[in-house]
Amino acid sequence: MSATEYAQKLAAKFGPVIGAPVEFRGEITLPVLDPERIEEICAHAKQELGFDMLLDITSIDHYGDTPRWGIVYELFSLAHKSHLRLKTTVTEERSELPTISGVWRTADWHEREIFDMMGVRFRGHPDLRRILMWEGYPYHPLRKDFPLAGKPTDLPEVAFTHSAPLEGGPFVTVAGGKDTAAREPRVRTAGN
C-alpha cells in the first residue's frame, strides 16, 4: 500500500477531523483539523496502520497569522517502508496540544524542544521542562518575534547579562567572499 492509501484509511476512520491529503514531491501530508484528536490519530496510525516509528516532531511559527503554529509529525513504518506526515495547528491563545509521548516515547524529547523553543505546551507530558535553555528563561528563542540580536537577561551568573547575538548560521551570513569560510561572520569580525 502507498502512503496515499494509508492517508485515505486515516481519513476514512476519522472523517471530518482529517483534511484532504496533500502530495508534494512524492510525500504525503495529512492535515489534522482538530488538534485535540492528534494523540488518538497517532495511536491509530501506529497500532492499526503500522507506523511504528516517530521520526520527528517539528514546529513552524507563522507569526502574524492565525493559527500561529504548525506542528508536524513525521511517521514511518519499518514494515511497509512508508512515510506519512501529519500536520496540525495551534493558536496563540491556546498554545497547547495533547502529548503523544504515550504513543511513541521518543516524542518526549521532541515535545520538550518545541515547548522550550516555541512555547507550545503539551498537555499530559510526563516531564515538560526546558531541554536547551535554562529553567526560568523567560523567552522562546525560535519564535519569529524573538530578535536575532538576542535579549538581555536579568539572571546574573546563570547566563550572560547582556544581549547574546546569534553568530553564524544561514540567517546572518552575507553573500560574497571567496568561499564559505570567508562569509562566516566570526571570520569577518576576528580580523577587525
Tell me the C-alpha distance between 5 and 30, whole Å. Answer: 11
Boundaries of every domain in the chain = 3-142, 147-192
pTM assigned to the model: 0.80
Using pLDDT thresholds of 50, 70 and 90, give the confidence band for residue 30: very high
SS3 165: coil
- Separation of alpha carbons 34 and 167, rounded Å: 39
Q: pLDDT tens digit string along 36-52?
A: 999 999 999 999 999 99
The terminus-to-terminus CA distance of the chain in angstroms comes to 60
Fold of 3-142: Beta Polymerase; domain 2 (3.30.460)
Quote the mean pLDDT of the chain.
85
Alpha helices for the chain (secondary structure H): 3-14, 38-47, 107-118, 180-183, 185-190
- The residue with greater pLDDT, 111 or 145, is 111
Q: Over the stretch 140-188, which tens digit does the pLDDT of each residue have? A: 999 998 887 777 666 655 555 555 554 444 445 555 666 766 655 554 4
